[in-house]
Amino acid sequence: MTLKLYFHPFSSFCQKVLIALYENDTPFEREIVDLMDPASAANFKKMWPIGKFPVLRDETRGQTVPESSIIIEYLAEHYPGKSELVPKDRDLAREVRFSDRFFDLYVDVPMQKIVADRFRPDGKRDPHGVEQAKSQLQTALGILERKLASKTWAMGDRFTVADCAAAPALFYANLAMPFDKEYTQTAAYLRRLMQRPSFARCIEEAKPYRHFFPIKDADWSFAEAVASFAA
């Protein structure tokens, strides 16, 4: 098989790419990277020394492609499918890319800061950084709440790379800093994302790894309620 994805099923940025692959039924091989395992991590870093996943390897074209948004752009260009996740129209594509950046930088990154702080040992935590991340997430949710009021997907009627970015970022954000009661439009959007077969599959595949989530008192009821509705 030509495409191999180096990833972990529980990772938000990896799920973003999995959604894109599932949307288009793109065939690919899976290589789960366990960054906790020194051998697996060292092997992965030989390919991409930055050490962050996902990374896509395309043997046919001799390309190694890191970065979730760039992987989805690459797939759209070289392995297009029924779902055009990056529009051809340049102005529309720029708006879609902006929305993708928004979910990555202002939802996913602060969510990860909140979650990752729980992995730190006592005395090494960063409460100020976590407060800043929560405040940034709150601001982002306020913007989304207004923007999503009249939309099915991030860009309107069509499902794009922005929704691939939004789905796991909002899913984990609602566990790290529950917002579904206060930001009801955004919660409704997250519900629609969770019912989309591509993301519902990611949620299912990530289930066996939930014990990795370091916020042990996280409330999974929203995730469970939607999952049972979707089933």
Note the residues at the interface with ligand GSH (CB under 6 A).
11-13, 35, 51-54, 67-69, 104
DSSP string, the chain: --EEEEE-TT-HHHHHHHHHHHHTT---EEEE--TTSHHHHHHHHHH-TT--S-EEEETTTTEEEESHHHHHHHHHHHS--SS-SS-SSHHHHHHHHHHHHHHIIIIIHHHHHHHHHTTSPTT---HHHHHHHHHHHHHHHHHHHHHGGG-SBTTBSS--HHHHHHHHHHHHHHHHS--TTT-HHHHHHHHHHHHSHHHHHHHHHHGGGGGG-S-TT---HHHHHHHHHH-
Of 102, 8, 23, 97, nearest to 55 by C-alpha is 8
Nearer to ligand GSH, 161 or 190 (CB): 161
Tell me if 226 sits within 8 A of 194, measured CB to CB: yes
Closer residue to ligand GSH in complex, CB, 8/196: 8
Please, which residue, 54 or 87, has the CB nearer to ligand GSH? 54
Smallest gap from residue 109 Cβ to ligand GSH (A): 8
State which residue, 12 or 160, has the beta carbon closest to ligand GSH. Answer: 12
**31 or 146: CB nearest ligand GSH:** 31
Nearest distance in Å: CB 73, ligand GSH: 11
Q: Which is nearer to ligand GSH, 6 or 79 (CB)?
A: 6
CB of 111 to ligand GSH, least distance (A): 10
- Minimum Å gap between C-beta 89 and ligand GSH is 24
Rounded to whole angstroms, how far apart are CA atoms 33 and 207?
17
Least CB distance from residue 78 to ligand GSH, whole Å? Answer: 18
Q: Minimum distance from CB of 215 to ligand GSH (Å)?
A: 15
